[in-house]
Amino acid sequence: MKQIKHILLLWLFISTTCTAIHAQENVTYFIHTVESGQTLYSIANMYKVSEADIIKLNPGSENTIRIQENLKIPLNKDAKQQTKFHTIKVGDTLYNISKRYGIPVQNILNANPGLSEANFQVDKVIQIPVVDSAAVEQQQKAANAEAAKKKKETRLYAIPGAIESRCKEMHKVKRHETVYSLSKKYHISEEALIAANPEIGNENDGGLKKGKRICIPYSEEEEDVSNDTNYSSGKDSKQKYHSRRALATPPPSDTELFKRNKATAKPISPVKAAIILPFKEDRRMIEYYQGFLIAVDSLKHLGRSFDIYTYNCTNNAADLDAILSKAEMKNMNIIFGPAYQNQITPLANFAKKNKIRLVIPFSSKASEVFTNPYIYQINTPQSYLYSEVYRHFLDQFPSANVVFIKSNIPDTDKNNFISGFKRVLASHRIPMQTVNEGISLDSLKATVNKNLQNIYIPTSSGYPIFNNTITKIVQLSKIFKNSEIHLFGYPEWQTYTKSQLNNFFNADTYFYTTFYTNSIFPESKDFTNKFCKWYGHDMSMNYPKYGMLGFDTGFFFLDGLSVFGSALEDNVHSFELKPVQNGMKFMRVNNWGGFINQKIFFINFTRSFTLSKIDLE
């Protein structure tokens, strides 16, 4: 009966202290708090589980998940052998987490390069790396050797004190006391108590008999914080304990541990950069490289130094393998590429293995970014892009009256954008309504609220509904001259500006985009002239313009590495680039993954015939 009670109490203790890991229906899981831009797809990728497994633990998540919602994430069976995840709880510190999992603090920091004192917060998830027993043992031996060396040096100059007992105090056993009850009373483990009193592990009922005196050892924390401190003996064990506690150095704080780990900015010169693209198959890649070289030239005039390696890579796996096998590749500081989706995984694996930054300029679907800390993804994934648009829309139009114009031709690409937009507007109690594309001008008049900002948003980016809608909004604006009326839409509208320029202005049109340029902007005009002078031709009429993309990405990363070097990631927000076309605002997707570019602009054509590129932060 006593044994059953002991097991029950032990189970209750474990269930109340292990807050990061839970179980439901024989499935072990931890808690993830949803952040802006995250989807089931991205969350499943960052934890290497299936969307179906997440849905099973979170019914309804297949339809929608919301920011700040807590999701149960099952532990990947294979991941149990490789890594764990810990949800930070109230009272957690780097020090006590390292003790809980039995690994050095530095191992945790290495596994979570995005972790800092600023984001070490309750409900954030960190990765707990696999315990390499041999490596931990080696680290411990090195630490012990260093501690022994210090103690030996101290003994050469210090007067020896009394031999110090390993016991915090001697306890006289009372009736019904057990190893378990005493371990709880003195806040030590049962194993530590038995280790200090080996004889009690060999007798019935823990070997504890009334009247027996046993050694109560110092807890692990008390031992850790006092390993290198000398104490003089007190009159009795209790006095000695309080003396020891008073003089002990407290466990290192998170501030101290993060400060120790902070990389020192060491500029790199020359920066070694590789560009791996299909130059012979796609002229746009040549233009990207041409713009990149203009960036290199501009930076050289600032005193920067570079070694640029250029490789033509077709959509043939053997081509990429041959490039990555070259001896110089392992010494790169940064790689730009690839162009083909199927080459992202092998190139990302190579970059991660050799700790080389990888800039992916074109794809928006690089799932490797969720688990690879060396990746920078330029093209913003749809969900992150939409979240940024919603946030900035609410800032730009704080008193909006939103009218959605439903297209006669469904646009599946915009379904997620519109449905998500409606949820956000509803959560902020923004008035909205939906009308059909064929609505008459007279009926459209009834949607105007003279006291609010009237924003009209087609549910498709296609030209037919754009043309139909912008004509009506121009007419509506003339009727309600004293009311605020705007048309709001999509990046694809850039291609309509030439044929509809006057209507863009007269409808006071806004559209969101991650890239934009116009020949009236000085930086665009200067770059276009330089490109033409260098290469003897204009850039192709693409959206985006690849030459400008090559310049913006090349300038940002090459300048960053030249100035900050190994500490680029700590300073990625500290330097500004006035882009010719593409802005850069990189955010880590989680503490152990890479970076996604979340920079967007609102482009506004006003009725006073001014054009603004609104730089959103």
Q: Give residue 6's pLDDT band: very low, low, confident or very high (50, 70, 90).
A: very low
What pLDDT score was predicted for residue 167? 80
Global confidence as pTM? 0.79
Cα 126 from Cα 114, distance rounded (Å): 9
What pLDDT score was predicted for residue 139? 61
What pLDDT score was predicted for residue 159? 47
Q: Give residue 484's pLDDT band: very low, low, confident or very high (50, 70, 90).
A: very high
Q: Give residue 233's pLDDT band: very low, low, confident or very high (50, 70, 90).
A: very low
What pLDDT score was predicted for residue 22? 63
Q: What is the mean pLDDT of residues 448-452?
A: 96
Q: Give residue 137's pLDDT band: very low, low, confident or very high (50, 70, 90).
A: low
Q: What is the mean pLDDT of residues 407-427?
A: 92
Please list, in sequence order, all residues whose beta carbon lies within 8 angstroms of the beta carbon of residue 599, skipping any fewer than 6 positions away.
380, 514, 582, 583, 584, 585, 616
CA-angle at 121, arms to 120 and 126, nearest 5°? 60
Q: What is the mean pLDDT of residues 240-253?
A: 59
What pLDDT score was predicted for residue 226? 47
**350-370 residue pLDDT tens:** 999 999 999 999 999 999 999
What pLDDT score was predicted for residue 161? 47
Residue 224 has pLDDT above 60, yes or no: no
What pLDDT score was predicted for residue 73? 93
Chain mean position to CA 322: 32
The single-letter DSSP state of residue 266 is B
Q: What is the mean pLDDT of residues 261-272?
A: 85
3-state secondary structure (DSSP) of residue 120: coil
Taking CA atoms, 397 is separated from 59, 76, 141, in Å, by: 35, 43, 61
Most confidently predicted of 183-187, 201-205, 449-453, 495-499: 449-453
**22-72 residue pLDDT tens:** 656 567 889 999 999 999 999 999 999 999 999 999 999 988 899 999 999
Count Cβ atoms within 10 A of the Cβ of residue 355 and give its class: 0-12 exposed, 13-18 middle, 19 or more buried: exposed
Domains and CATH numbers, the chain: 2-134 (3.10.350.10), 161-260 (3.10.350.10), 271-375+520-585 (3.40.50.2300), 383-513 (3.40.50.2300)
Q: Give residue 160's pLDDT band: very low, low, confident or very high (50, 70, 90).
A: very low
Query: Which of 44-58, 235-249, 489-503 has the weakest average pLDDT?
Result: 235-249
Most confidently predicted of 186-190, 194-198, 518-522: 518-522
Q: What is the mean pLDDT of residues 89-116?
A: 91
Average per-residue pLDDT for the chain: 86
Q: Give residue 1's pLDDT band: very low, low, confident or very high (50, 70, 90).
A: very low
Please list, in sequence order, all residues whose beta carbon lies within 8 angstroms of the beta carbon of residue 456, skipping any fewer than 6 positions away.
403, 405, 469, 473, 485, 486, 487, 488
3-state secondary structure (DSSP) of residue 219: coil
Q: Are 188 and 196 in contact (CB under 8 A)?
A: no
What pLDDT score was predicted for residue 193? 82
Find tokens 């109690």 and name the residue: 429
Please list, in sequence order, all residues whose beta carbon lies within 8 angstroms of the beta carbon of residue 198, skipping any fewer than 6 positions away.
none
Q: What is the mean pLDDT of residues 531-539?
A: 96
What pLDDT score was predicted for residue 17? 34
How many CB atoms are located within 10 Å of the residue 154 CB? 11
Residue 235 has pLDDT above 70, yes or no: no
